[in-house]
Amino acid sequence: MLAAPGLRRCACDPNFFAFLPMTRLYKYFFRGLITVLPLALTIYLLYIFLAWTEAVALTFLRPFIGGFYVPGMGLALGILGILAIGYLVSKERVQRVLTLVEMPFTNLPVVKSIYSSLKSFADYFSPSSKNTAQQVVILRIPGQQLELVGLVTRRSMEGLPEGFSQDGRVAVYLPMGYMIGGYTVFVPQEWVQPIQMSVEEAMRSSLIAWMARAENNNRPAAPAMPEPPGSAPGAPGDASGGGSSSQA
């Protein structure tokens, strides 16, 4: 028997749905759809990913195992293989060999751009990355009322071509809704303010155009933005500083 608020009729009653208002039917239908759809899509996408992973793993393992197969074996061996690769690349000697393997991907004109971009993107979100610039910030432009959420990707202009201002600027990536692109702006450090949000949560919120509510507002305060090298008060000016080059 189905129990609805204010109703005592059984769903087997032929007049049950006639008695139930259509607006309430729509409400229950969309509420059920909203509840089931994310779960169903997640399971479906996870199934596709696991099936694809198993098929790829079996392609490489088939010469070694022959016709022997147990469902899930390819996925399990694939995970073990990835763990083994992760362990090996943490060794200095293996890293040298990996550098030689990467040479064709880092020298060919078109392949170099694709591989370098994907590798830099993966390294940025890597848990073992030493990049301390991973921080979510609010960008406020003086004289403007709008606020932009972005990711600090660079805290220093060192290593960039001539023409970039060297006066304590930081690079902030501003992702667009639904991850269709984004903009990278170089702004003074005073324009940005760290917020209590992880990079993963900020990217997920940008994906859905910030339509979801914040999950946790009781996090510790975000660390202050560190000063870039050479910008501390009283620090001696760099002989090759960007003051003169930015005026050129």
Count of structural domains, the chain: 3
Do 168 and 102 sit in the same domain of this protein? no
Write the CATH number for 175: 2.30.30
Per-residue buried b or exposed e for 76-90, using 16+ beta carbons within 10 Å of the residue's own CB: ebbeeeeeeeeeeee
- Quickly count: other Cβ atoms within 10 Å of residue 99's Cβ: 10
Q: What's the order of all strands across the beta sheet hosting 192-194?
A: 182-188, 169-175, 147-154, 135-140, 192-194
In a domain, 113, yes or no: yes
Structural domain that includes position 115: 91-124
Do 185 and 164 sit in the same domain of this protein? yes
- Tell me the pLDDT tens digit for each residue of 105-158: 888 888 888 888 888 777 766 666 555 557 899 999 998 888 889 988 888 777
Q: How high is the pLDDT of residue 10?
A: 57
Model confidence band, residue 36 (pLDDT cutoffs 50, 70, 90)? very high
Lowest mean pLDDT among 28-37, 42-51, 104-113: 104-113
In a domain, 64, yes or no: yes
Do 60 and 118 sit in the same domain of this protein? no
Three-state secondary-structure class, residue 87? helix
Lowest mean pLDDT among 1-10, 81-90, 161-170: 1-10
Do 172 and 209 sit in the same domain of this protein? yes
Q: Which among 153, 143, 147, 145 has a CA at the least distance from the CA of 123? A: 153
Longest CA pairwise span in the chain (Å): 88
Do 175 and 191 sit in the same domain of this protein? yes
> How far are the Cα atoms of 75, 166, 169, 186, 247 from residue 238, in angstroms, in the given order?
55, 10, 15, 20, 16
Model confidence band, residue 233 (pLDDT cutoffs 50, 70, 90)? very low
Distance CA 8, CA 41 (A): 34
Dihedrals phi, psi of 117, to nearest 5 degrees? -65, -45
